[in-house]
Amino acid sequence: MPTYKETHRRSLADRDAFWREQAALVDWHAPFERVLDYARPPFSRWFVGGRTNLCHNAIDRHLATRGDQAALVYLSTETDESRRYTFRELHAEVNRFAGVLKELGVGRGDRVLIYMPMIPEAAFAMLACVRVGAIHSVVFGGFAAASLATRIDDARPKAMVTADAGMRGGKPVPYKHLVDESLRLAKYPPAAVVIVDRRLDRDMPRVAGRDLDYAALRAQHMDARVPCEWLESSEPSYILYTSGTTGKPKGVQRDTGGYAVALASSMRSIFCVQPGETMFTTSDIGWVVGHSYIIYAPLINGSTTIMYEGLPIRPDPAIWWRIVEEHRVRTMFSSPTAIRVLKKQDPAFMRKHDLSSLEYLFLAGEPLDEPTARWASESLGVAIVDNYWQTETGWPILSAQPGIEQTPRKFGSPSFPVVGYDVRLLHEATGEEVGANEKGVLTIAPPLPPGCMTTVWGDDERFVRTYFSTFRDKPFYSTFDWATRDDDGYYFVLGRTDDVINVAGHRLGTREIEEAVQAHPGVAEVAVVGVADQVKGQVPVAFAVVKDPARVATPQDAAAMRKEVMDTVDRQLGAIARPGQVHFVTLLPKTRSGKLLRRSIQALAEGRDPGDLTTIEDPGALEQIRAALAAR
Ligand code: AMP
């Protein structure tokens, strides 16, 4: 067996041969002519000329060999439902949904926006889209109407798919109401909204002619057989929006063939799940981890995937481990925040169930601190694999790859570059590679491997400017993360180089939250910083200047204003972005050229030294921040 080092080296030095071999893991309707076209850097086109379809690879091709095997197991501790779909049953459901989409005139290249709770119909909708060649854009259910409207106007979907409501902690969370509001705000609302009615929201409004009931439509398409649209490998499969340093989210565009190959490859080399075995990923379909490792990768691999609606601690903190025992889960994928939540519970819950089937617990989305990793490893007795990646890449950049070689893991490190990734740590100013144990910007020397974003939806120029323009004369892809590499080659991710924060594994732009706070008419100016939090990793904290100081003159007034600001953020972005604290000041610390000193504010909020203040316009502003924090 070749070692990890040899395999990684070969994946870069003999790229075409390596990826040609990996491409055999998926079905091609027409073979590709070339492995890679890199004639127009930094845009890469993988498996040029090959024709394939994600839905065919996820479902149809397994029908002959594993039609009666469970493909998707749905478990909800919110509604106490469980449903199991074999590959054959999933095929039938996806064809029905595809029949509905066809009836609505949705076809190749059309966009469909999916705003859904964690129910199987969300998976059917995604798979039906890619089946007919349409491009889905799933928006996480926690985002508010205004955020949804921004995404609608950017993607301009022909149709939307939603449900009456989701459920969280036993309480219904309205979805359709919010969709209606977003459609009032949007400039380019779609003509059709398909609604999966779970009968959780009796007051769900309906707009005649636009709103369509999925159950009724499905009944008309019970025997639908919709052929897969054979897409050229580079044609888009989906758009997934993600936050950056500007207020406007970027539509990460993914291809078809490269994504299928990368995911199939990762199931073997990283996640070690065999066809027929079960994977349980606790993320949400609204995030990239959900796209890749709840839906596409396990199904493409012929594995069973578990889709879970509910919290990790309801009905009790043993629920995930009960699922592992009952479904003989082999590989689990979750987030450090979820494990920190469990760590606060009675440890007996971790040992209540037979976990003998479980080999690996993969954790990603945010830094995995050493105590949490150690605790999880000791209480579960399984291998904990920290893996590092981004919405943009679609699959891990750094990870141990036990399917290639069982390398020892170090707590606090996501180990090594994944095959296909030419990772380099560059000095921020000079762009030269840094030495061992020196801090650098984590970059990827292009071409990006298969599966990574191909461009920003509708904006090639933004793709190049955002990701490939950090270093002069060196057009490397920047992750905007700091990292070091130790003497043994292990990487350590140290945090973002930009103003993006990570709340419970979810990326949020501080600029985006500032814009949401400023939507309150009483706010003149605001600075939002991410402050370290024991459970969520970071939480946003806002320092706002109000237009009329009388609004915050008494503690009661200030409390009322604070609530208004938080409600405004809920309405604009969603509760996930709500600041943990809102402080009122009359001045914000800025440089003489007017740039916000976010790092200094953040340092003070975390009880650290504010650093170099020689460029500050008015030191009194920092005093106000100090006083506001002390008064808490
Ligand atoms: P997202 O695209 O929302 O998944 O966020 C990606 C960002 O989350 C990365 O750029 C990192 O800042 C952070 N991140 C993801 N995984 C890890 C990890 N294993 N260790 C440290 N940071 C991580």
Task: State how far the Cα of 323 lies from the Cα of 157, in Å rounded to an integer.
Answer: 36
Q: Which of 390, 411, 508 to mutate to test the pocket of ligand 1 (most atoms within 8 A of CB)?
A: 390
Q: What is the pLDDT of residue 1?
A: 82
Question: Can you give the three-state secondary structure of 374-437, one letter per residue?
Answer: HHHHHHHCCEEEECECCCCCCCCCEECCCCCCCCCCCCCCCCEECCCCCEEEECCCCCCECCCC
The CB of 390 under 6 Å from ligand 1? The reply is: yes
The CB of 481 under 6 Å from ligand 1? The reply is: yes
The CB of 414 under 6 Å from ligand 1? The reply is: yes
Phi, psi dihedral angles at 408 (to 5 degrees): -65, 145
The CB of 368 under 6 Å from ligand 1? The reply is: yes
Task: State how far the Cα of 365 lies from the Cα of 293, in Å rounded to an integer.
Answer: 13
Confidence at 244, pLDDT banded by 50, 70, 90 = confident
Tokens 């705003």 sit at which residue? 115
CA 443 vs. chain centroid, Å, equals: 19
The encoded tokens of residue 515 equal 């814009």
The CB of 258 under 6 Å from ligand 1? The reply is: no
Beta carbons within 10 angstroms of residue 521's beta carbon:
8
The helix or strand, by DSSP H or E, that contains position 490, with its residue range, turns out to be none
The encoded tokens of residue 237 equal 């499969």
Q: In this structure, which long-range contacts are made by residues 627-631, counting pairs with CB atoms below 8 Å and at least 24 apart in sequence? A: 628/543, 628/583, 628/584, 628/585, 629/583, 629/604, 629/605
The CB of 442 under 6 Å from ligand 1? The reply is: no
When the pLDDT of each residue in the chain is averaged and rounded to a whole number, the result is 96
Tokens 């700091």 sit at which residue? 482
Q: Is 80 exceeded by the pLDDT of residue 300?
A: yes
Task: State how far the Cα of 526 lies from the Cα of 584, in Å rounded to an integer.
Answer: 9
The encoded tokens of residue 287 equal 């995030």
Concatenating the DSSP letter of every residue in 587-611 gives ---BBTTS-B-HHHHHHHHTTS---
The encoded tokens of residue 97 equal 């949904």
Which atom of ligand 1 lies nearest, measured to the CA of 387?
19
Which atom of ligand 1 lies nearest, measured to the CA of 368?
20
Q: What is the pLDDT of residue 140?
A: 95
Closest CA to 8 of 262, 263, 269, 268: 269
Query: N- to C-terminal Cα distance for the chain?
Result: 59
Beta carbons within 10 angstroms of residue 185's beta carbon:
15
The CB of 388 under 6 Å from ligand 1? The reply is: yes
- Domains parsed from the chain with CATH numbers: 500-630 (3.30.300.30)
The CB of 502 under 6 Å from ligand 1? The reply is: yes
Q: Is 80 exceeded by the pLDDT of residue 245?
A: no
pTM listed for this prediction:
0.95
Q: Is 90 exceeded by the pLDDT of residue 427?
A: yes
Confidence at 414, pLDDT banded by 50, 70, 90 = very high
Distance 365 CA to ligand 1 centre (A): 4
- Residues β-bridged to residue 527: 543
Contacts of 551 (CB under 8 A, 6+ apart): 522, 557, 561
Task: State how far the Cα of 472 lies from the Cα of 32, in Å rounded to an integer.
Answer: 35
Q: Is 90 exceeded by the pLDDT of residue 594?
A: no
Which atom of ligand 1 lies nearest, measured to the CA of 243?
3
Q: What is the pLDDT of residue 259?
A: 99
The encoded tokens of residue 359 equal 């080999």
68-82, 235-249, 344-358 — most confident range? 68-82
Is the pLDDT higher at 247 or at 89? 89
Distance 220 CA to ligand 1 centre (A): 44
Which atom of ligand 1 lies nearest, measured to the CA of 500?
12
Task: State how far the Cα of 282 lies from the Cα of 521, in Å rounded to an integer.
Answer: 39
Q: What is the pLDDT of residue 168?
A: 94
**CB of 261 closer than 8 Å to CB of 450:** yes
Which atom of ligand 1 lies nearest, measured to the CA of 391?
2
Contacts of 124 (CB under 8 A, 6+ apart): 90, 93, 94, 96, 97
Task: State how far the Cα of 539 lies from the Cα of 502, in Å rounded to an integer.
Answer: 8
Paired sense of beta strands 455-456 and 165-168, if any: unpaired
Confidence at 612, pLDDT banded by 50, 70, 90 = confident
Q: What is the pLDDT of residue 243?
A: 84
The CB of 291 under 6 Å from ligand 1? The reply is: no
The CB of 110 under 6 Å from ligand 1? The reply is: no
Q: Which of 389, 393, 470 to mutate to test the pocket of ligand 1 (most atoms within 8 A of CB)?
A: 389
**CB of 571 closer than 8 Å to CB of 520:** no
The CB of 242 under 6 Å from ligand 1? The reply is: yes
Mean pLDDT of 462-491: 96
Distance 480 CA to ligand 1 centre (A): 10
Q: What is the pLDDT of residue 595?
A: 85
The encoded tokens of residue 103 equal 């009836």
Task: Please tell me what DSSP assigns to residue 249.
Answer: P
Range with the poorest average pLDDT among 90-94, 184-188, 375-379, 385-389: 375-379
Q: What is the pLDDT of residues 303-360, one digit of tens each?
A: 999 999 999 999 999 999 999 999 999 999 999 999 999 999 998 998 899 999 999 9
CA 616 vs. chain centroid, Å, equals: 37
Q: Is 90 exceeded by the pLDDT of residue 614?
A: no
CA 549 vs. chain centroid, Å, equals: 40
Task: State how far the Cα of 559 lies from the Cα of 584, in Å rounded to an integer.
Answer: 10
Distance 493 CA to ligand 1 centre (A): 9
**For ligand 1, atom 7, which residue shows the shortest CA distance?**
390
Distance 628 CA to ligand 1 centre (A): 31
> 60-78 burial by CB neighbour count: b if 16+ within 10 A, else e?
bbbeeebeeebbbbbbbbb
The CB of 288 under 6 Å from ligand 1? The reply is: yes
The encoded tokens of residue 275 equal 């066809």
Task: State how far the Cα of 48 lies from the Cα of 297, in Å rounded to an integer.
Answer: 21
Distance 372 CA to ligand 1 centre (A): 16
Distance 392 CA to ligand 1 centre (A): 10
Closest CA to 50 of 14, 4, 75, 19: 19
Q: Is 80 exceeded by the pLDDT of residue 205?
A: yes
With a pLDDT cut of 70, the percent of the chain lying above it is 100
Q: Is 90 exceeded by the pLDDT of residue 532?
A: yes
**For ligand 1, atom 4, which residue shows the shortest CA distance?**
390
The CB of 507 under 6 Å from ligand 1? The reply is: yes
The encoded tokens of residue 41 equal 């850097």
Beta carbons within 10 angstroms of residue 602's beta carbon:
23
Which atom of ligand 1 lies nearest, measured to the CA of 398?
19
The CB of 386 under 6 Å from ligand 1? The reply is: yes
Mean pLDDT of 21-50: 98
Distance 265 CA to ligand 1 centre (A): 21
Task: State how far the Cα of 492 lies from the Cα of 439, in Å rounded to an integer.
Answer: 9
The CB of 496 under 6 Å from ligand 1? The reply is: yes
Closest CA to 451 of 245, 255, 158: 255
Contacts of 260 (CB under 8 A, 6+ apart): 26, 52, 54, 57, 296, 300
The CB of 250 under 6 Å from ligand 1? The reply is: no
Distance 159 CA to ligand 1 centre (A): 31
The CB of 391 under 6 Å from ligand 1? The reply is: yes
Question: Can you give the three-state secondary structure of 522-538, one letter per residue?
Answer: CEEEEEEEEEEECCCEE
Confidence at 227, pLDDT banded by 50, 70, 90 = very high
The encoded tokens of residue 12 equal 């870069």
Taking CA 401 as the corner, what is the angle to CA 435 and CA 278, rounded to the nearest 5 degrees? Answer: 150
Q: Is 90 exceeded by the pLDDT of residue 288?
A: yes
The encoded tokens of residue 288 equal 């990239």
- Residues β-bridged to residue 51: 30, 232
